[in-house]
Amino acid sequence: MQKTMLIMVLISGLAAAGIIHPQLAEILAELPASEKIQVIVHLVEQADLALMPTATKPEKLQYLQDFSQASQKDLVKYLESLGDRIENFQPYWIFNGVTFKTTRDIIENVARRIDVDYVIDDFTIQLDINKGEEVMPLAPTWPITIIRAHLCWNDGFTGAGIIVGNMDTGVAVNHTAFGGRWVPGGWYDAVNGNSTPYDDHGHGTHTMGSICGGDGNGPFDPDIGVAPGANFIAAKCFNSAGSGQATWIHNSFQWFAGQNANVVCNSWGNNNQTTLEFWNNCINWRNLGIVPVFANGNAGPGAGTAGTPGNFPTVTGVGATDSGDNIASFSSRGPAPNQSPWTDTQYWERPNWNRTKPDISAPGVNVSSAVPGGGYQQMSGTSMAAPHVTGAVALLLQKNPNLDYNTIYNILLDNADRPSQGAPYPNNNYGWGRLNCYAALNAVPVGNKPNVVLRATTVVNDNNGNGRLDPGETAGIVNRIRNTGNQAATNIQGTLRTSSTHITITDSTYFFGTLAAGDSTTNSPDPFDVSVHASTPPGIVAEFQLVLAAAETTWVRSFSLSIGLAPGTIIWGPKSLPGFPSSGFLYGIAYDQVGDRIFVCNAYGRSLRIYSSDSFVTSHGTITAPDTLLADISYSYYDDRFYVTGFNQRRIWKINKATGAVLRQFANPANDYPVGIAYDNNVSIWCADRRTTLGATQLMYVSDTLGNASQYNSPNQGYYNSRCLAYDTVGRSYVQVQTWFNSSGTTLDSAGVIEIRGIPPAPTGRRFLLNPGWNIRGIEFDPRDGNYWITIPQISGTWVQQIVKVRGFHQPMLGLQENRGSVSPLNFSVYPNPAIDRVNIAFSLQHKEPIEIAIYDVSGRLVNILQKRTNVESGAHRYEWTLGDNNGVAVPNGVYFVLLSTDHGNSAVKTIVTR
């Protein structure tokens, strides 16, 4: 798989006014006094085209040039006085600045001027390209069909009449896929100054092919582009090595400002998340009527990796998905920086943007498109995703050329598909979802008529207050609608429908009234009322239709809501483990429920490392392990000890968690390649055997705590797939990490988690896949929230030593429902109910077993633990929860749940406090 990575050269964001950028300062410190370097000077004053909204484009262009010329006058006069000490001088007006080549002393003098904001070197941005297979793609390609572009062609929309562009490595305009649609004269070469279009690298031809290659429903084969009827122009600002100087990029921005392109694709960026080097360029493009689309970057999957300009709130940043609608491992994630101007809401195109990046996602993995020489090749990266959004903009503009940027942006986001594995939306993986061209096209307003679109959907009045539909809840749905047409929509009657068998709508109508052109409104005074069936599996997506019937016409606007969180949804992470050796190999993980710590194995060392159990994963030291190449670890709540196993000695040790001292040991029955153990705190230890021979049958052993074991074939077979195990006390099942390799055992094919149960072990049917680039190893169940910690030593072949927490298969309290039937205690009761000063909890046990009693409020927040998990004798038991003093704080009135947990499951009883 190709990975297109944009390598950072700038080392920090913009500094204070009138200074030398730190990157340049480092260069100057080593620069001989007589040597000259090229620099870029940004002036303090910047033109604001937003102050002249009714001006024509030529008037705006003239204003930018006049403003910059006047502002730069004194600086230019000073530079001219220096004669030949200044070389390669060029003024800019796309932003107010200049570039020139000179010596250190002059650079320092310029930086001290009060009209100068900052001075920076002419830095480089590098496209890191690994090209895939040369293949003749099918017609149309999978990206075209998954984003429904071909349905737009069927309706007659191909981008005809729209001019698209890209800033890239150039374009081989004579490639047959382009059908002669290059606009003569629409070419600028900032690198070599050639007057004839060319591409000496390949990246630019590939991206332009995904924008507009092919001929739609015509005879040409294959169809690789979203807008095959659009004409195109191009600027070359990256050379044959995929390297682009900042001055080349600025020059290309400025050239495009004077052209007639409606939308420009930028499949490049900077991994510096806070630099504003191209901020004013993008602002001025927007005010000149150019839609800026940018790749979000390929520095994922960590949070806060979205690069610039893609993470600007003023551009459409695009993430990459694969053919299964999974977000690509390399795709950079938000949030955007928590600082100005990102936090300045005047730049937000939606009131709920709040630094979410990407804005939208599109196909970017194994995308086939044109390359110089007349062929086709697969490439991967957000570089391949941004062109699909660029083509979609062309389709929308063909239907209505008068659309402004805000309308285009919101139509794309509001009508994106939302794959269930990415829920809830919006998020910093997918943004508002994966591009759907056809849905967006249908939402475009045309002519002198009203066009009412659905802008946002909010869940309100839900039982646990988390703003999401959960199993067993009742809630309200508020829809924000907007009339994007040119005429009023009269007497709008809204009706909510659903095809979901998991949803019942109890109040389906609302009278929105008359909506003037451009206005918005909601049904917040009277939300639609819905209820979610208690048996709904978490992660199910419910489809809704909002029927808006006005006097003029009727619109049907579809939306979807995820019920709860799907298993495998990321809760937090991946996060690097602080202090974990860079030469180590992160493997198994276990949760110390008494000490509230997680312990992880270092397979390349003789230590167990200890971390906090929260998302900060704070380091708390190490203990000595009984073996090197330690594979897995399992916690025993029964006696507050650990069981561990290792590769070298192929044994299972019971150890003291404080010192690592061995208390007992026996041979691991998985003696070929032991990789996983899990203790269920009752009778057995399950052991996984990966096997050393590629393709050998994966084995599973069920052992007692003395090593007496029975052998079974693992219920899931594959190449080197078996990894670590954990016991899920809510599901009363085992969960196992699986990493499947290809048939040669050299490349990771996919990764995921399966649930197994019973003797012999058998799959329950529950499973989920994770990021295909994650080489996952360890897994542990968190009894507090039902989720799983998973360890990731490698991502796409790079050592990372990270941990991620994902949604589990079973939640301790699904929707905070009352549930009395899932655990072994008998006669479980809570009284009096309602309660005033105390709550009594009574139950009987048939045999000795570990229990825990916890109190939660209606939002799911832990209020009190009356009994930490420990063994309780058989017979009748009663506990008392005193309401006047809850750990020093009086218990407020409200609804609470008493949760009784055992190793066999949980049971919850609702009680009401009315003090």
Which residues are marked as active site?
A: 168, 203, 383
The answer to whether 12 and 272 are in contact (CB under 8 A) is yes
Lookup: tokens for 591: 């949760």
Rounded distance between C-alpha atoms, residue 782 and residue 805, angstroms: 9
Rounded distance between C-alpha atoms, residue 858 and residue 538, angstroms: 18
Lookup: tokens for 10: 């700038």
Rounded distance between C-alpha atoms, residue 494 and residue 556, angstroms: 10
Lookup: tokens for 579: 């202090």
Rounded distance between C-alpha atoms, residue 234 and residue 188, angstroms: 7
The answer to whether 709 and 701 are in contact (CB under 8 A) is yes
Which residues on neighbouring strands pair with residue 781, listed in sequence order? 788
Rounded distance between C-alpha atoms, residue 590 and residue 553, angstroms: 60
Q: Respond yes or no on whether the N-terminal peptide bond of residue 760 is cis (omega within 30° of 0).
A: yes
Lookup: tokens for 537: 């599996």
Lookup: tokens for 310: 């893609």
Please name which of 733, 579, 745 lies closest in space to residue 673, comparing C-alpha atoms: 745
Q: Which helix (H) or strand (E) holds 250?
A: helix 246-257
Rounded distance between C-alpha atoms, residue 473 and residue 857, angstroms: 15
Please name which of 135, 239, 128 lies closest in space to residue 193, comparing C-alpha atoms: 239
Using DSSP's 3-state secondary structure scheme, residue 475 falls into strand
Rounded distance between C-alpha atoms, residue 75 and residue 113, angstroms: 9
AA identity, residue 640: D
Lookup: tokens for 719: 């190449």
Using DSSP's 3-state secondary structure scheme, residue 264 falls into strand
Rounded distance between C-alpha atoms, residue 227 and residue 224, angstroms: 9
Q: Which helix (H) or strand (E) holds 384?
A: helix 382-399
AA identity, residue 674: P
Please name which of 478, 540, 504, 564 lies closest in space to residue 817, comparing C-alpha atoms: 564
CB-side neighbour CA atoms (13 Å) of 212: 33
Lookup: tokens for 453: 């679109």
Length of the chain counted residue by residue: 915
Please name which of 147, 290, 149, 162 lies closest in space to residue 229, comparing C-alpha atoms: 162
DSSP 521-576: EE-TTSPEEEEE-TTPPTTPEEEEEEEEE-SS-EEEEEEEEEBS--TT-EEEEEEE
Q: Which helix (H) or strand (E) holds 79?
A: helix 73-80
Q: Which helix (H) or strand (E) holds 122?
A: none
The answer to whether 646 and 674 are in contact (CB under 8 A) is yes
Which residues contact residue 890 at a Cβ distance below 8 angstroms, ignoring those fewer than 6 apart?
A: 883, 884, 915
Please name which of 711, 705, 660, 698 lies closest in space to residue 680, comparing C-alpha atoms: 705
Which residues contact residue 217 at a Cβ distance below 8 angstroms, ignoring those fewer than 6 apart?
A: 150, 153, 154
Number of CB atoms found within 10 A of residue 379's CB:
28
AA identity, residue 92: Y
AA identity, residue 760: P
Q: What single-letter DSSP state applies at residue 17?
A: T
Which residues on neighbouring strands pair with residue 721, listed in sequence order? none
